[in-house]
Amino acid sequence: MKKPAVFLDRDGTINKQMGYINHLSRFVLIKGVSKAIKILNENGFLAIVLTNQSGVARGYFPIDLVYQINEYLSEELEKENARIDGVFFCPHYPKGSLLEYCFECDCRKPRTGLIRQACSAFDIDMKRSYMVGDRHTDIEFAHHCGMEGVLVKTGYGVGEVEYILPGREIQPAYIADDLQDAVKWILNKEKIKV
Ligand SMILES: [Mg+2]
Ligand SMILES: [Zn+2]
């Protein structure tokens, strides 16, 4: 059976924005994130992370660190009985330094490759799915995928609201304080009372 999904950006949405997360010690969860993800789990939404990690192509950190962080995130969420169903990431960047990852890919957000990867792994009801992120590129990505995008004011969000959103054609459906607020808005929109 098809399930709706809430797609989540990683840096600045789930964990604190600290430039490139080039070490596990720089991965710090934002307050309330486990609770928000648990609410998605309990209300029949898949929680799927879609993240650009161009630091791999740039040679800032090894691809293994991305997997290590995924594992750490799962462990941290498990402590609060919350669960991420899948993680899809783009390690590419055309002007990087690690040649095998240096090309114009189709999976760097706002391009839509990551959604195709997610949809081939899960049976997703795209009409009832949402994207949550802290950058305008996340909102553009949502738009390209035919979803509503929610911008969170964590990470780069406050600056994006102030300096990037004005004058842009593509706008978020909602501007949330954080992931918890975003999830509340989504469930309310889907008429699921929390
Ligand atoms: Mg982000
Ligand atoms: Zn890519």
pLDDT digits (tens, 9 = 90+) for 127-159: 999 999 999 999 999 999 999 999 999 999 999
pLDDT digits (tens, 9 = 90+) for 34-51: 999 999 999 999 999 999
| Residue 84, domain member (yes or no) | yes
* Res. 194: pLDDT tops 90: no
pLDDT digits (tens, 9 = 90+) for 1-22: 899 999 999 999 999 999 999 9
CATH number at residue 18: 3.40.50.1000
Instruction: Give how many domains the chain has, as a whole number.
Output: 1
| Residue 161, domain member (yes or no) | yes
Which pTM was predicted? 0.97
| Residue 194, domain member (yes or no) | no
Q: How far is the CA of 90 from the centre of ligand 2 (A)?
A: 4
Q: Walk across the sheet containing 130-133 and list its strands.
A: 86-90, 46-52, 5-8, 130-133, 148-152, 174-176
Q: Which residues surround ligand 2, an ion (CB under 5 A)?
A: 90, 92, 105, 107-108
| Residue 86, domain member (yes or no) | yes
Question: Domain range spanning residue 91?
Answer: 5-128+137-189
Q: What Å distances lie between residue 67 and 17, 70, 77, 83, 155, CA to CA?
A: 18, 5, 15, 16, 21
Give me the long-range contacts of 183-188 (CB less than 8 A, separation at least 24): 183/6, 183/36, 183/37, 183/39, 183/40, 183/132, 185/150, 186/6, 186/45, 186/130, 186/132, 186/150, 187/39, 187/43
Q: Which are the catalytic amino acids?
A: 9, 11
